[in-house]
Chain A
């Protein structure tokens, strides 16, 4: 039951260019979406989030866009830096039916930023 999907397992971009990571979801009850960054042998680190009442949230070089009608969100990193190289997980949550805001994760996209 893949409620959150990241269809690109990997992405390679040049330093200074834009990185665009995509995520699709199927559960219309999700109302909060998050992006996490993960290095090997470390825990996920929160990056940026967006509530379903918004369509864009920006924090420095990171912008998340949400298209609710398409059940799609994307993370833009501009400009990309070599230190951004990591696995990026999209996650979704929703406080519905007694659920406890657990996160449903996508499978991740490995971003490699080439110097």
Chain B
């Protein structure tokens, strides 16, 4: 069964460092998303990506965040200068279509900023 894969599963980084979280969405999907879940809180939308550009972003997704799809298969989330409050589980998701379809999530990357 096709699945969304994310690497690494766990990333520890020092405050102020840059991190790149990687995702391989399901191959025939067209819409890509990043969500995050801070420990004990709900899953929150960060950004959506379609046709090689950001289609929507939340207020969380400030200038420190960026996304790209460098090679047509990988989908990455970069945090330029990490803060302690960026510590969370980051989930990549993809959808085949835009109307009434479910999003498939990866296993997540646990980011710990120290």
Write out the residue numbers on chain A whose beta carbons fall within 8 Å of the beta carbon of B56: 98-100, 102
With both beta carbons as reference points, the residue of chain B lying nearest to A34 in the complex is identified as B102
Chain B positions near chain A (C-beta within 8 angstroms): 4, 6, 31, 33, 35, 41-45, 48, 50, 55-56, 89, 91, 93, 95, 98-108, 110
Mask for A16-34, Cβ within 8 A of B = 1, else 0? 0000000000000001101
Q: Are A89 and B43 in contact (CB under 8 A)?
A: yes
Q: Are A100 and B110 in contact (CB under 8 A)?
A: no
Q: Are A100 and B48 in contact (CB under 8 A)?
A: yes
The residue among A42, A89, A102, A104 with the most chain B CB atoms within 10 A of its own CB is A102
* Residue total for A at the interface (Cβ-Cβ under 8 A): 26
Write out the residue numbers on chain A whose beta carbons fall within 8 Å of the beta carbon of B105: 36, 43-46
Contact of A46 (CB < 8 Å), options: B41, B104, B108: B104
Write out the residue numbers on chain B whose beta carbons fall within 8 Å of the beta carbon of A43: 4, 6, 91, 93, 105-108
Q: Are A102 and B108 in contact (CB under 8 A)?
A: no
Q: Are B95 and A101 in contact (CB under 8 A)?
A: yes
Q: How far, in angstroms, from A21 to B108 measured CA to CA in the complex?
A: 25
Report the minimum CB–CB distance from B27 to chain A (whole Å). 18
Chain A positions near chain B (C-beta within 8 angstroms): 31-32, 34, 36, 41-46, 49, 51, 89, 91, 95, 98-108
Q: Contacts A41-B110, A43-B4, A43-B105 hold; do A100 and B100 have CB atoms under 8 A apart?
A: no
Q: How far, in angstroms, from A91 to B91 measured CA to CA in the complex?
A: 15
Write out the residue numbers on chain B whose beta carbons fall within 8 Å of the beta carbon of A34: 102-103
Q: Are A108 and B42 in contact (CB under 8 A)?
A: yes
Q: How far, in angstroms, from A34 to B56 measured CA to CA in the complex?
A: 20
